Structure 1
């Protein structure tokens, strides 16, 4: 039986340190333990990250979808119109899911980075926030969080990199960073 939240807040995990996505997914896993349902939209992450496999085991309580890639970032190009349209369409889909009453938690993973790279606008996300029902928890992640979103949030955590093994040439490890 799905237990509804009495009151939902807006959380943001931002900053240049590791752990933003991990924190958001951890929140969804914790919520699943309480019978709450989460919808996670991962933007700019069309890659088989390990969390996709583990979350399949909780698929009755956690739905995760990936939209868009980040190839344009590495090529130092602007995103294509097709990528922009995919992300904008996915935000409309998120709004429908948020208003459906089917989910308790909505997670927009890398939404702040998506704003930074021009896939969506701050105004688009503020509009979505304004549509949030009072009993829905909304979690936004990503570097470069606009001040306007921080002002709207109830909880903001900034992950700050103090030291990282990437600086020693260690690359991404399956199950840890991907």
Structure 2
């Protein structure tokens, strides 16, 4: 990926599998470690844009507390754009955000049995 996008850094946190309902302690530990590292990265000011993809889902599954992510948001440098994605955004995140967008599925190929594809959905 870096060969084609040299100015983009991609880091994946978690165990690389879907959590359906009850996360394991390993899931929680991995997510909390990831949030701690991302917080340091954001505070470093090294990046103009940081995307926390599906962080709202992590909050929904209680992989880390909302207050931890709120603290990360509050401490970010003014010149860093922070994008948090995922459904089920808690009201506290919505309240602190400058921009909130809701996407609505109209049609999806999952409905025709197409599975998640590497490089597209994950």
Relative to the length of structure 1, the TM-score reads: 0.62
3-state SS of 1:129 partner: helix
| CA deviation map 1:126-168 (0-9, x unaligned) | 1111111111100001111111111111111111011222222
- Within a 5 Å distance, the mapping from 1:64-103 to structure 2 comes to 64-68=10-14, 69-73=16-20, 76=21, 78-103=22-47
Which residue does 2:53 correspond to in 1? 109
1:58 matched to 2:5:
yes
**SS, match of residue 88 in structure 2:** coil
| Count of paired positions | 121
| Higher RCO (Cα < 8 Å, 6 or more apart) | 1
Unaligned runs of 5+ in 2: none
- Structure 1 gaps, min length 5: 1-52
Q: Distance in 2 between matches of 1:142 and 1:79?
A: 17
Q: Cα 1:105–1:89, aligned 2, differ >3 Å: closer, same or farther? A: same
One of 128, 140, 147 as aligned partner of 2:84:
140
Match of 1:10 in 2: none
The aligned counterpart of 1:171 is 115
The runs of 4+ residues in structure 1 deviating greater than 2 Å are: 69-72, 168-178
Task: Look up the SS of the partner of 1:158 in the other structure.
Answer: coil
CA distance in 1 between partners of 2:119 and 2:50 (Å): 24
CA deviations 1:38-66 (Å, max 9, x no partner) are xxxxxxxxxxxxxxx3x54223x211111
**Root mean square deviation, CA, Å:** 1.8
State TM-score, norm by structure 2: 0.87
1:160 aligns with 2:104: yes
Report which of the two has the higher share of strand: 1
